[in-house]
Structure 1
Amino acid sequence: MISGVCPVLEVPFTAAGEVDGDGFVRVAEHVMGAGVGGVMFPGFASEFPKLDDAERSRLTTLLLRAGHAHGVPVVVSVPDHAAVVAIRRAREAVDAGAAAINILPPHLFAPSPAQVRHHVEAVLDAVAGTPVVLQYAPAQTGTALDAATIRGLAEGHDAGLQVKVEAVPPGPVMSALAAGPRPVGCLVGYAGVQLPDALRRGAVGVQPGCSFVEVYVEIWRLWHAGHAVDAEALHRRLLPYIAYWMQHVELIVQAEKTISYRRGLIADDHCRVPGRPLDGPESADVDRFLEEFSDLLVPPRA
């Protein structure tokens, strides 16, 4: 099962918008060396709707190879809308060595709750024996699932079902999933905006972006070392930045890529269009962020 800090990896592009595979591996290896509990790809932070099938398959292969070399669990996401495609993708990922599968339930064109449940159950059945993370992201996708339905899905998956909770706020959903004779373990997403509350409610992990993962690792370390006051103080320093960036998915994707670029982790901060470029004050905020957290951000390897 996934625990600790498990970031979603970004995909570096060249200035012309082509995938930078070598840059992706460098990002993955840097993140894997930061003390994470796992990594996930592809997610919203990976700009997955802007990747074609060949690019997505290539990057997944590169990531699984890096994860195996570094001993870090890789969670492969299957955000595909059609159940038949999601099943195929999930089986391919498990056969290639994925430690767990992430399911983003179908959400285009408002599928019925029964159809959503059928989709999730079909993927769970296809990867029986492999842990699964179910992504609960109503802010981004809407949702046809509730806590009782998710608990029922978990009871039928012996390998373990966890939930990445990105509700706003996440706390009540996490508490509802923890209720009953078989609690469902939760990771908190949404950039960890509500991470302290999630930790108090028993979150087993956090799944942010990857450009400043060291900050999340330190918050996690402090909390679990018994220094909750220090962990919350560090989170309060982070909160104004992530609360602003999380006003739009494309905004935080661009902000994180710009951070990675200015840190020297990637060669270009290009995001495929449509996107959300930073304006002047937002770009200056990235510089302030890098200065404020310079004590925690490890320089990239030469």
Structure 2
Amino acid sequence: MRGVSPVLEVPFTEDGAVDVAGFRRVVRYVLATGVTSVMFPGFASEFHKLDERERTELTGVLLAETGPREDVAAIVAVQDHATRLAVSRARAAVAAGADMINLLPPHFLAPTRRAVVAHVRAVLAAIAPTPVVLQYAPAETGTSLDGATIRVIAAEHPNLALIKVESSPPGALIAELAAAEPPLPAVEGYAGVQLPDAVRRGAVGTQPGCSFTEIYVELWRRFAAGDDEGGEELHRRLLPFISYWMLDTELIVAAEKLVSVRRGLFASACCREPCHRLDAEEVRMVDRFLAEFADLLPALD
């Protein structure tokens, strides 16, 4: 998992049903941008609004697309609060063909740090040697894990391969992990708001949403090629949009879905309630975004 690793969105029909064909198009579009890994389901996928049947079906669609390919990795996420359920889901995902597991630590009703660490260790042990990405998203979950604790877990469980750092700002923790012995690589999330700083501090990738993957691919290409000035310039163009949309998770989900609809990826920008409903100015903002980046975002219909 290096470079850009998008989190896949889930399109719904106007009546709120899962658009399976639309999701398949999402998968194929993202893979066609040249990324080497994708993740599902995450916050950008509205995972908390999917039932078990839907989640299983969509995961199957993803793995059917990635399974025959050696150039891409499917990262399947586990967000269950109960350790028993998280272990079971992680094992099932690996058996189904997942290349990596993304683990969101439990956070409902504020479990103790000791309980969170025990949960993470149990999942890591259950699926070793399959690599695991540990998602650290304190703003969304309230869970707090420091670098020292993460390093101890990684020393005991070599399949803890990456940390997805979504603290705000993420740079200090990314740098701390990169300076560990051995170094523990990190990827940056949070729509890439702090991407340039994360790259300077040692991030090995970024994990944004997926409706404008081409922009992130170009951003990463510039930074990886040593074109820091070009990367900073492109990020400055992007920042007014993503900094506003990331003020609320439901807001960026709604905005990204409208971007996908405008590009012709699927038919409806429906989000399952409760959700953020874009107002007229926010819709105009999406259209300004598409005009600003028309050079990088071709129509997909």
CA offset at residue 59 of structure 1? 0.5
Matched, 1:207 2:207: yes
Q: Distance in 2 between matches of 1:97 and 1:156?
A: 25
Cα deviations by residue, 1:270-294 (Å, 9 ceiling, x for unpaired)? 0000000110110000000001101
CA offset at residue 266 of structure 1? 1.1
After TM superposition, list the pairs within 5 Å mapping 1:137-156 onto structure 2: 137-156=137-156
Q: Distance in 2 between matches of 1:36 and 1:206?
A: 11
Q: Distance in 2 between matches of 1:176 and 1:105?
A: 20
Contact (CA 8 Å) 1:116, 1:144: kept in 2 or not?
no
Q: Distance in 2 between matches of 1:190 and 1:169?
A: 10
> Counterpart of 2:196?
196
Matched residue SS, 1:25: helix
CA offset at residue 211 of structure 1? 0.3
> Counterpart of 2:181?
181
> Counterpart of 1:3?
2
CA offset at residue 96 of structure 1? 1.1
Q: Normalising by the residue count of structure 2, what TM-score does the alignment of the two structures yield?
A: 0.98
Distance change (3 Å), C-alpha of 1:140 and 1:39:
same
Q: Distance in 2 between matches of 1:204 and 1:198?
A: 9
Matched, 1:299 2:279: no
Matched residue SS, 2:261: helix
> Counterpart of 1:45?
44
Q: Distance in 1 between matches of 2:200 and 2:172?
A: 12
After TM superposition, list the pairs within 5 Å mapping 1:242-261 onto structure 2: 242-261=242-261
Matched residue SS, 2:182: coil
> Counterpart of 2:63?
64
Contact (CA 8 Å) 1:187, 1:205: kept in 2 or not?
yes
After TM superposition, list the pairs within 5 Å mapping 1:106-117 onto structure 2: 106-117=106-117
Segments of structure 2 that go 5 or more residues without pairing to the other structure are none
> Counterpart of 1:119?
119
The worse-fitting range, judged by mean Cα deviation, of 177-186 and 226-235 is: 177-186
Q: Which amino acid aligns with 1:63?
A: L
> Counterpart of 1:263?
263
Q: Which amino acid aligns with 1:4?
A: G
Q: Distance in 2 between matches of 1:200 and 1:157?
A: 27
Q: Distance in 1 between matches of 2:226 and 2:178?
A: 22
> Counterpart of 2:282?
282
The worse-fitting range, judged by mean Cα deviation, of 138-147 and 125-134 is: 138-147
Contact (CA 8 Å) 1:214, 1:298: kept in 2 or not?
no
Cα deviations by residue, 1:162-202 (Å, 9 ceiling, x for unpaired)? 10000000001111212331111000000010000000011
Q: Distance in 2 between matches of 1:121 and 1:20?
A: 36
> Counterpart of 1:241?
241
> Counterpart of 2:54?
55
CA offset at residue 160 of structure 1? 4.2
Contact (CA 8 Å) 1:132, 1:160: kept in 2 or not?
yes
Contact (CA 8 Å) 1:135, 1:165: kept in 2 or not?
yes
> Counterpart of 1:12?
11
RMSD over aligned CA atoms reads 1.0
Query: How many residues end up aligned between the 2 structures?
Result: 300
Matched residue SS, 1:24: helix
Q: Distance in 1 between matches of 2:66 and 2:299?
A: 21
Contact (CA 8 Å) 1:78, 1:101: kept in 2 or not?
yes
Matched residue SS, 1:223: helix
Cα deviations by residue, 1:35-62 (Å, 9 ceiling, x for unpaired)? 1121000000000110001100110011
Cα deviations by residue, 1:130-183 (Å, 9 ceiling, x for unpaired)? 111000000111113111111111112223421000000000111121233111
Q: Distance in 2 between matches of 1:244 and 1:30?
A: 25
Q: Distance in 1 between matches of 2:131 and 2:68?
A: 21
Matched residue SS, 2:25: helix
Contact (CA 8 Å) 1:107, 1:141: kept in 2 or not?
yes
Segments of structure 1 that go 5 or more residues without pairing to the other structure are none
Contact (CA 8 Å) 2:124, 2:160: kept in 1 or not?
no
Matched residue SS, 1:94: helix
